[in-house]
Amino acid sequence: MPRPILVEFAEIFRWLQRNPTRLPPWVNQKLLGEERGHRVYRIRVSDWRGVDVFDGDAVRFTRFRPRKDIGYGALPKS
């Protein structure tokens, strides 16, 4: 992953640590669906995507990939 993308994701991680349910408006986040009662989100940074699961207490990232390789097919739809 290119360094500028890492830096931006690091900033998003700091926001998620403070408040996992409320990100600043400059973060491009999309709810993808639910998996076993947990919300699955996609966060976009340039051409990279991070997919995370929020269980009500913690955020767990499951993948980071370039847009062309992310593979949304296996993710829940809502």
DSSP string for 54-70: E-SS-EEEEEEEEGGG-
- The pLDDT of residue 73: 64
Residue 24 has a pLDDT of 92
- Global pTM exceeds 0.85: no
Q: What's residue 56's pLDDT?
A: 85
CA-based radius of gyration for the chain: 12
